[in-house]
């Protein structure tokens, strides 16, 4: 019999939701493993910095409960990568606690592995000093100061820690930050299948039914064999077509043909896409080029300050006609008055986003000669040191957007329509990416300790 | 002449990591894709001009198997940093829509 492994992914991210019927249809096809990717760097630096989950715990719990029941009933592994959105320690512990709670309430029993991805600053400093860390995307070399300032640093694991956890008999594997395809690549490589189709399968499964049409958050069933991969959504309302699959190679990658992963590069330039039915596609021709040096991507963020925002709009054509001068006046007033209560200009950044002009594209906006009959504003202050001071400067900016006079002004009671009371919102700590590097490692598992427990 | 808006099946933008933006223009079939490719309109210089980046910072890759062109270049501001307007980078495609394709 041809060697194969059958893999079921429930959605693009744990907590995005999926139809229960799609999970049942997938389970009826006897998968060898079910799983889901838990996160992404795409929602920005906040989640890694704050330790909060990207999806709500309520939504995560709903998905996790269904998946746990399905996996335990079928006696197959459940594997979840990048738990909690960012894959740091608080994110992993949130999902682990949830799994323990669900198991206790519902009488489920299993061996669980937690694979940690959060890195100690001492360890990163030591590796950096040894010259084994370099920047990605033109990032400067790491310094001790940047490492010390970081709020949290995670390493992005490849398939090897997942393989180790599964080899040690874990039925439920919850991992911190991992390469999105890694849990799936692990299952296929562990089944003695070659890395090229293993990684390709992972690339499809990490996004659930996204490689199908109509696109949506739903389940995808993938069969991996020696020289090809077959993809089919389990919801009969969706189909994979050669074009929908081919296009998925474009997703969130700098190159559509060269996909750099821990340990090597998946090359999709010679892929063939053949329909095996009107809903399933067979992909062949992918190749895997092993790297001479195994590297692990590092992601880290640092605190950039505290944000407060206010939403407002204007319908006044006289103000819209001299907007830039008006905003300059507001900024000048805010600078003076905020300095009077101790917020000097070097301690905060004031942003006034103008929706209806260039709110979406900023200086890359090519349309510069048309302003609508109304404009929306998001007024924003990020203060370096405190939420209280951010709120104080924002309040001053809001008051001056409302009341600052301008030549020819008729709307003497106020320039801005505020949709909310209160108008000002404390957003909380603001983070920025500070570490986006790769570390050379001797062993793919050395940055990712695994703990086992019986639940 | 026909615009990308009239000719393409997909025209989209997205982050490729926190520091880069990637734009995909996808056509329906090999025939249209090859005719578009032959015009040479979709090239690094086009993206450099529309997005105000040096052409040498644009990684441009035609992907024949998907009837697609991909261009990747630096974001204005890293995702989520002060001044970023589009954390996911998924609304930066519009300047391409009215580009003329002499096919």
- ipTM (interface predicted TM): 0.94
Given a cut of 80, whether residue A2 has pLDDT beyond it is no
Is B73 a domain residue? Answer: yes
The structural domains of chain A, with segments of one domain joined by +, span 4-299+435-454, 316-416
CA distance B80 to A45: 6
Given a cut of 70, whether residue A250 has pLDDT beyond it is yes
- From chain A residues 261-280, the ones with a CB under 8 A of any chain B CB are 268-273
Q: What is the average pLDDT value for chain A, to the nearest integer? A: 96
CB contact under 8 A, B61 and A41: no
Question: If we measure between CA atoms, which residue out of B32, B36, B17, B56 comes closest to residue B96?
Answer: B36
Q: What is the pLDDT of residue A279?
A: 96
Is B89 a domain residue? Answer: no
Is B96 a domain residue? Answer: no
> What confidence category does residue A40 fall into, taking pLDDT thresholds of 50, 70 and 90?
confident
Listed in order, strand segments (DSSP E) in A207-257 are 220-225, 228-233
Question: If we measure between CA atoms, which residue out of A424, A375, A425, A382 comes closest to residue A399?
Answer: A424
What Å distances lie between residue A49 and A41, A82, B73, CA to CA? 11, 15, 26
Given a cut of 60, whether residue B20 has pLDDT beyond it is yes
**pTM (2 d.p.):** 0.93
Q: What is the pLDDT of residue B68?
A: 94
> Quick one: average pLDDT of A279-298?
96
Is B3 a domain residue? Answer: no
CA distance A435 to A378: 29
- From chain A residues 195-214, the ones with a CB under 8 A of any chain B CB are none
Q: What pairs with residue A114 in β-bridges? A: A174, A451
Q: Which residue has the higher pLDDT, A328 or A246?
A: A328
Contact of A136 with chain B, judged by CB distance below 8 Å, is answered with yes
- In this structure, are strands B59-63 and A150-156 parallel, antiparallel, or unpaired? unpaired
Is B68 a domain residue? Answer: yes
Listed in order, strand segments (DSSP E) in B1-103 are 2-3, 10-15, 20-26, 59-63, 68-74, 100-101
> What confidence category does residue B1 fall into, taking pLDDT thresholds of 50, 70 and 90?
confident
Domain region containing B44: 12-77
Q: What is the pLDDT of residue A1?
A: 54
- From chain B residues 42-101, the ones with a CB under 8 A of any chain A CB are 50-52, 59, 61, 63, 65-68, 70, 72, 74, 76-88, 91-92, 94-95
Which residue of B70, B80, B89, B94 to mutate against A (max A Cβ within 10 Å)?
Answer: B80
CA distance A396 to A336: 10
> Quick one: average pLDDT of A180-191?
96
Lookup: tokens for B17 = 């990591």
> What confidence category does residue B65 fall into, taking pLDDT thresholds of 50, 70 and 90?
confident
> What confidence category does residue A371 fall into, taking pLDDT thresholds of 50, 70 and 90?
confident
CB contact under 8 A, A271 and B65: yes
Which residues, other chains included, contact A101 with Cβ-Cβ below 8 Å and sequence gap of 6+?
Answer: none
For chain B, what percent of residues have pLDDT higher than 70?
Answer: 100
Torsion of CA A25, A29, A33, A39, to 10 degrees: -30
> Quick one: average pLDDT of A347-371?
94
> Quick one: average pLDDT of B70-97?
96
Given a cut of 80, whether residue A63 has pLDDT beyond it is yes
Given a cut of 60, whether residue A147 has pLDDT beyond it is yes
Counting every residue written for chain B, the total comes to 103
Is B54 a domain residue? Answer: yes
Least Cα separation, residue A256 to chain B (angstroms): 7
Domain count, chain B: 1
Q: Quick one: how many helices (H) and strands (E) in chain A?
A: 13, 19
Is the torsion defined by CA of B14, A143, A88, A306 positive or negative? negative
């Amino acid at each position: 019999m041809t060697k194969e492994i059958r893999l079921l992914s429930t959605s693009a991210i744990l907590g995005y939701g999926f139809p229960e019927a799609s999970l049942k249809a997938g389970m009826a096809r006897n998968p060898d493993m079910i799983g889901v990717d838990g996160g992404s760097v795409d929602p920005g630096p906040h989640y890694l910095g704050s330790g909060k989950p990207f999806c709500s715990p309520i939504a995560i719990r709903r998905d996790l409960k269904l998946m746990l029941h399905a996996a335990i009933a079928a006696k197959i592994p459940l594997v979840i990568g990048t738990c909690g959105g960012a894959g740091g320690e608080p994110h992993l512990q949130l999902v682990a606690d949830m799994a323990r709670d669900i198991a206790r309430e519902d009488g489920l029993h299993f061996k669980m592995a937690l694979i940690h991805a959060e890195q100690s600053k001492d360890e990163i400093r030591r590796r950096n000093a040894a010259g084994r860390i370099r920047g990605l995307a033109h990032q400067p070399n790491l310094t001790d100061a940047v490492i010390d300032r970081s709020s949290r640093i995670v390493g992005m694991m490849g398939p090897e820690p997942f393989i180790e956890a599964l080899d040690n008999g874990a039925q439920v594997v919850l991992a911190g930050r991992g390469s999105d395809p890694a849990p799936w690549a692990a299952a296929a490589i562990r089944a003695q299948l070659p890395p090229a189709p293993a990684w390709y399968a992972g690339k499809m499964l990490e996004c659930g039914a996204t490689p199908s049409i109509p696109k949506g958050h739903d389940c995808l069933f993938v069969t991996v064999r020696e020289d090809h991969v077959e993809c089919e959504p389990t919801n009969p309302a969706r189909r994979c077509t050669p074009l929908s699959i081919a296009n998925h190679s474009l997703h969130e990658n700098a190159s559509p043909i060269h996909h750099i992963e821990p340990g090597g590069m998946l090359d999709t330039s010679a892929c063939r896409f053949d329909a095996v039915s009107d809903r399933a596609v067979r992909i062949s021709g992918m190749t895997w080029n092993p790297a001479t040096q195994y590297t692990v991507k590092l992601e880290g963020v640092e605190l950039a300050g505290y944000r407060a925002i206010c939403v407002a709009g204007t319908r006044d054509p006289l103000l819209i006609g001299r907007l830039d001068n008006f905003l300059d006046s507001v900024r000048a007033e805010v600078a003076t008055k905020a300095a009077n209560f101790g917020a000097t200009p070097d301690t905060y950044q004031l942003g006034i986003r103008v929706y209806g002009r260039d709110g979406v594209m900023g200086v890359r906006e090519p349309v510069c000669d048309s302003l609508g009959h109304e404009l929306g504003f998001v007024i924003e202050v990020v203060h370096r040191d405190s939420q209280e001071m951010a709120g104080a400067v924002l309040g001053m900016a809001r008051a001056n957007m409302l009341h600052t006079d301008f030549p020819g002004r008729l709307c003497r009671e106020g320039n801005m329509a505020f949709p909310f009371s209160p108008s000002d919102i404390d957003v909380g700590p603001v983070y920025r990416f500070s570490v986006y590097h790769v570390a050379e490692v001797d062993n793919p598992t050395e940055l990712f300790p695994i703990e086992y427990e019986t639940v | 002449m026909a615009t990308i808006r009239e000719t393409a099946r997909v025209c989209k933008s997205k982050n490729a990591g926190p520091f880069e933006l990637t734009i995909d223009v996808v056509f329906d079939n090999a025939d249209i894709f090859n005719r578009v490719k032959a015009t040479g309109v979709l090239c690094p210089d086009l993206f450099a001009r529309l997005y105000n980046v040096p052409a040498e910072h644009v990684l441009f890759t035609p992907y024949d198997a998907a009837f697609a062109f991909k261009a990747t270049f630096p974001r204005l501001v890293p995702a989520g940093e002060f001044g970023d307007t589009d954390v996911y980078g998924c609304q930066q495609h519009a300047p391409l829509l009215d580009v003329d394709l002499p096919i």
